[in-house]
A = this chain, B = another copy of it.
Amino acid sequence: MSEAADVPGVSDGSDPSDVLALDSLLTANELAVRERIRDFTEQRIKPGIARWYEDAVFPLEVVPELGELGVLGMHLEGYGCPGRSAVEYGLAAMELEAGDSGIRTFVSVQGSLAMTAIHKWGSEEQRQEWLPRMAAGELIGCFALTEPTAGSDPSSISTFARRDGPGDDAGWVLDGAKRWIGFASVAGVMVVWARTDDGVRGFLVPAGTPGVRATPIAQKLSMRASIQCDVVFDAVRLGPEALLPGARGLRGPFTCLNEARYGIAWGAMGAARDSYQAALNYSQDRLQFGKPLAGYQLTQEKLVNMLLEIQKGTMLAIHLGRLKGARKLQPEQISLGKLNNVREAIAIAREARSILGGNGITLDYSPLRHAANLESVRTYEGTDEVHTLVLGKHITGIGAFR
């Protein structure tokens, strides 16, 4: 913490929205990373987001820039990955989601899901083949686990990979369907989880493999600057080298999901903070009955409660980051972080919107977009109900899932 003291003007409480001086919990390096990514968001995401969102376009041109920024596979070591700390990764997620959840989602899918799967469960050859280009943003990865009929229950997946002949050096034939697969239609490589005779295994499926069809889900009211796909695998033939050797069973994808959830707990607070800031600014500028909106008790009540939850959620994220840095972070802790921070973020974004009056329904202001995006974030990687029951089992010792 001593480093932080050297950063002028940051941790001295001069920012009235950092009431708790949480910046004083961050090192100078961490603050520097945050500034860099905040700048990127201001300059590269915010100016274009309204148009991308309206047009339902994911800005592919931003991908290599994210690579250059060092946020793809940010927490991984080697193979061209940045190797940053857990808190730095979290801060990056926060700043990017202050821009748009769709952008942070891309970074999560690329780094926490696809790259982590390859890094952790892949062979040396697989790592070398895919990770450097993915870290650079030259190639997009996706992560195909969820299926149309098994949203919150991955144990019921039915996509199946059977051996394409006898012996361990035989290839595979993959059949099944996935849904809500982020960026599948633009991915150069898919990490696909399928049932086999040997339990659930992961496969790397390069773009263009015959029999694979990824269709973006259209007419979305959330995450419009992002891509989620239906993917069909129709007798897809894969060589034996497609198999991720290190992962057996659901522990493989679950490890990746926990990485992603960790980032979400941070990211959601970025969307919340940006919503709050938009509402605060508007309320200070907008006159009502000759007085700024910010001067009314009903507005102050909203702003204070929003800020209070942002500060608590951010403190929680920092705490999770410190635990993760010390390799002590437990799945229940991540569940608590994801549950709380997304739930509070969505409430904050909605409340922020209410301060903006009619103007708040346009893309000129971020809160309603954030609120809409967070509907997706709330659902993926475990709904409120799933995380509640995970925690419920943890504290009572009794599972109530069924």
Contacts and interface: CB of A to CB of B under 8 A. Distances in A.
A209 interface: no
A153 B219 contact: no
Contact of A152 (B217, B222, B288, B393): B288
Nearest to A228: B358
A180 B356 CA distance: 14
Nearest to A55: B219
A300 interface: yes
Interface stretch (A105-113, A119-127, A239-247, A330-338): A330-338
Given A333-B20, A389-B297, A389-B300, A307 B357 contact: no
Interface in A280-301: 280, 283-284, 287-292, 294-298, 300-301
A271 interface: no
Contacts of A179: 358
A186 interface: no
Interface stretch (A39-47, A60-68, A187-195, A312-320): A312-320
B395 A379 contact: no
A400 B221 contact: no
Contacts of A332: 19
A384 B354 contact: yes
A389 B368 CA distance: 25
Given A288-B153, A316-B315, A379 B358 contact: yes
A361 B221 contact: yes
A16 interface: yes
Contacts of A156: 289
B152 A392 contact: no
A99 to B, nearest CB: 16
A234 interface: no
Nearest to A368: B221
Given A288-B152, A357-B152, A361-B375, A315 B304 contact: no
Contact of A388 (B287, B304, B385): B304
Nearest to A148: B359
A284 B392 CA distance: 12
A116 interface: no
SS of A interface (majority): helix
Nearest to A330: B13
A323 interface: yes
A391 interface: yes
A16 B393 CA distance: 10
Contact of A391 (B149, B307, B379): B307
A298 B295 contact: no
A328 interface: yes
A343 B375 CA distance: 19
A196 interface: no
A307 B153 CA distance: 25
A383 B361 contact: no
Contacts of A353: 375
A11 to B, nearest CB: 9
Contacts of A50: 219
A151 B363 contact: no
B297 A296 contact: yes
A353 to B, nearest CB: 6
For A50, A396, A398, the residue with the greatest tally of chain B CB atoms inside 10 Å of its CB is: A396
Contacts of A323: 20-21, 24
Given A298-B298, A303-B395, 9 more contacts: A153-B288, A220-B361, A296-B297, A296-B385, A297-B392, A303-B396, A308-B339, A308-B340, A372-B372
* Complex A-B, nearest 5 residue pairs according to Cβ-Cβ distance, in ascending order: A300-B392, A297-B297, A219-B363, A294-B396, A222-B361
9 contacts: A19-B333, A20-B336, A149-B287, A218-B362, A284-B396, A297-B298, A298-B298, A311-B336, A315-B316
